Amino acid sequence: MKRLHSPRCRNRAQAAVELALIAPILLATIFILLDTALFYTTQLSAANAVEAGARYAAVHAIEWSNATPPASDTIEQTIISDEGLATILNQDATSSSGSPNRTYLAITYYDTSGDTMQECGSYTVADGFQAESGYTEFSCIQAGNMVKVTVDCVYTPLTPVLGNLVPNGVVISETATALIEHI
């Protein structure tokens, strides 16, 4: 009499069942690790870009642009070209599509001449430079004062499970400041 199920055949079947049970867990772990790596890559990219923007703003404090895309000699374009962040909008702008893949930019200036550092103005695409009460653009943006550049971008997870947990993505906010060297 011939045996229908040899031990070798049973081992293969058992291995297939074990693979079917462990494969989803293994794939989920791989995708979560991939998402984590991409999140930190985006965070480091934003940090490097905002530092480059602050360094540029320290020497070119009034180089703004409301053009799309911004001119090559602007703070905005310095941030975009440093780490490839695709879209730079100012904090007052809103995404018409509501897309989570947006990036916001804020440029704020501080007067350091007194005992405490005080905000003296900010720049937005919509309004241009807006001085705080008691300041003008020229009294605010001077050598020795501070410029703060903030970039907010949203990371949208690739993994569907994580994407469902945070459907609007995770906001990554990076800020860098620099001393204005000259105008």
Centre a 10 Å sphere on the Cβ of residue 150 and count the other Cβ atoms it contains.
18
Asked whether residue 122 is domain-assigned, the answer is: yes
Asked whether residue 2 is domain-assigned, the answer is: no
For 95-143, give the DSSP string. -SS--S--EEEEEEEEE-SSSS-EEEEEEETTTEEEEPTT--HHHHS-T
Give the total number of structural domains in the chain: 1
| 3-state SS track over 129-142 | EEECCCCCHHHHCC
pLDDT in single tens digits along all 183 residues of the chain? 555 566 666 677 888 888 888 999 998 899 889 988 988 888 888 888 899 999 999 999 888 887 777 788 888 888 878 766 544 554 555 544 444 445 578 899 999 998 899 999 998 776 788 999 999 999 999 999 999 998 888 888 888 878 888 888 888 889 999 999 977
Total-model pTM:
0.77
Query: Which domain covers residue 139, as residue numbers?
Result: 7-179
Asked whether residue 54 is domain-assigned, the answer is: yes
Asked whether residue 49 is domain-assigned, the answer is: yes
Asked whether residue 1 is domain-assigned, the answer is: no
